[in-house]
Amino acid sequence: MIQLEALTKVFGDGPDATTVLDHLDFAVPSGQIAAVVGPSGAGKSTLAQCVTLLERPTSGRVVVNGDDLTAFGERDLRVARRRIGTIFQSDGLFARRTAAENVALPLQFLGVTAAESRARVAELLDRVGLAHKAGHYPHQLSGGQRQRIGIARALALRPSVLLSDEATSGLDPDSTATIVALLKELRDELGLSILFITHEMDTVVQIADTVARLDHGRIVESGRIVDLLRDASSLLGDQLRPARA
Ligand code: ADP
Ligand code: MG
C-alpha cells in the first residue's frame, strides 16, 4: 500500500516559491483503487512524481509497502521503484518495437533470460487481452490498445502497486471502459493497490473504491464512493452523482 504523510512539495524558493503539495495526508489501502481528483494545476502529477521519488518531496514521508522511500538513496530507490508500476496519459511505447518487445523491455533490463522473458510476455499480453497483437507496432494499435500494452509493461516486474496518472484521459468511452475493467480485474485477481489520478469524475465513479479531492495541494474531502454518493452535503458526492444518472 501507499501512505503519504504530511507530504509537501515547494517549487522554487524565496519570493518565487510555490507550494504545490501542502502537508498532504493520503493512503491507498492494500488491494483497493483510490482515486485522486482535482482540476488542472491542482498538483496531481506532482503527487504522482513524488510517490516514485522522481520528484523529491520538500518534506513529509512516502511509505510504500512499509518502506519510507524518502529515506532511501538512489540505489535502494531503483530497487523500490520496481514494486511500483506506472502508467500515464501518454502510453510511452517505443514506436520501433512491437507490442511484445515493449512489454519485454523491463525484463531485458533486469537480465531475465530470453526463454523466461518470452513466457512472461505471453502471459502479460494474455492478461491484457492482446495476445493476438504481440507482433504489432504501436501505430497499428488503437489508443486503448496501446494503453493496455503500457499496462502489461508496467506489470512486467510484478509490482504490488500501480500508479496511474490520467491513463484514461483522452480515450473514447469504450476504451476507457476496457481499461477500467482491466484495472479492477488486476485489483481483484492480483490484489494490486492502485492510485488512480484523474480529472474525469465519471471515470472515478466507475473505477474507484475511495476518492480524494485535491485542491491547492491539500486533500479537501475524501471518502468511500458509496458513502459520498449517499451524503447529500458532500461536494464530491455532488460532483460524482450527475455522471451516474
Ligand atoms: P495537475 O497534474 O493537477 O494538473 P501539476 O502537478 O502538473 O498539476 O502542477 C501543479 C502546479 O505545480 C502547477 O501550478 C505547475 O505549474 C507547478 N509545477 C509542476 N511542476 C513544476 C516544476 N518542475 N517547477 C515549477 N512548478 C511546477
Ligand atoms: Mg497532471
Ligand 1 atom closest to Cα of residue 49: 6
Confidence of residue 81 (pLDDT cuts 50, 70, 90): very high
pLDDT of residue 229: 86
Q: Which of 64-73, 133-142, 236-245 has the lowest mean pLDDT?
A: 236-245
- The half-sphere exposure of 221 on its side-chain side, counting CA atoms within 13 A, is 16
What residue owns the CA closest to ligand 1's atom 14?
41
Residue pair 7/57 in contact by the 8 Å Cβ criterion: yes
Which CA distances in Å does 133 have to 104, 105, 148, 193? 14, 17, 11, 27
- Look up residue 67 and give its three cell numbers: 518502506
Cβ of residue 215 lying under 6 Å from some atom of ligand 1 = no
What residue owns the CA closest to ligand 1's atom 13?
41
Cβ of residue 127 lying under 6 Å from some atom of ligand 1 = no
Ligand 1 atom closest to Cα of residue 48: 6
Rg (CA), the chain: 18
Question: What pTM, to 2 d.p., does this model score?
Answer: 0.94
Is the pLDDT at 245 greater than 60, yes or no?
A: no
Question: pLDDT by residue (tens digit) across 99-130?
Answer: 999 999 999 988 899 999 999 999 999 999 99
ipTM above 0.95, yes or no: yes
Instruction: Provide the percentage of residues in the chain whose pLDDT is more than 70.
Output: 99
The conformation of residue 42, written as its DSSP 8-state character, comes to S
Cβ of residue 16 lying under 6 Å from some atom of ligand 1 = no
pLDDT of residue 152: 97
